[in-house]
Amino acid sequence: MRTRPTLKQRRRLADPIQEHIAFDQTASSVAIAGHPLHAMMVAFPITLAFCAFAADALYWWTGDLFWPRVALWSAGVGFVIGILAGIVGTLELLIVPGIRIRSASWTHFILAVMLLSLLGANWIIRWDDAVSAVLPWGILMSAITAGMTAITGWHGGKLVFDYQIGTQNDHSDPP
């Protein structure tokens, strides 16, 4: 039969991060009326990364020269807005104590930097000749970038919905 841990054992098992005074201070500080700016911005790089992959696939399928230009612009605009969203996210990470102290936030940061590097590379390889860049390397880069976007976006959602990062803990219903 299992016995309850003694006070001494409980003290030894306590997670020092969870015990930290800043642990629950997770409310977003880069926000408009409490709504995190980062969450509003990431919709663009997420959507555009998938658009670049779809455009490459459509060019492969149809041969229509319209699609390589769509892929070039999707990767480029996705990268630029992704960098801006990343700057906002990094400010949040550095400024808010309850975000800075948690390892999950730093995991998200590392995933995001890898994603932004891929998104940037996927744009640069198309600069000289957007059409001949598509097959095979462009579409391969787009596929890897889309996969990485899914992982990073899913992890971002985990920060908010599992760890309540960016949310207000002292929240009271608006009047």
Residues in contact with ligand HEM by the rule CB under 6 A: 28, 36, 38-39, 42, 45-46, 82, 85-86, 89-90, 92-93, 99, 105, 108-109, 112-113, 115-116, 149, 152-153, 156-157, 159-160, 165-166
Give CA–CA dist 118/132, Å, rounded: 19
Give CA–CA dist 3/128, Å, rounded: 69
Give CA–CA dist 57/65, Å, rounded: 12
Q: Which is nearer to ligand HEM, 139 or 148 (CB)?
A: 148
Cβ 15 to ligand HEM shortest distance, Å: 20
Cβ 10 to ligand HEM shortest distance, Å: 31
Q: Which is nearer to ligand HEM, 48 or 130 (CB)?
A: 48
**In the chain, what are the helix, strand and coil shares in percent, each to the nearest 5?**
70, 5, 30
Q: Is 60 exposed, middle or buried (0-12, 13-18, 19+ CB in 10 A)?
A: middle
Cβ 16 to ligand HEM shortest distance, Å: 21
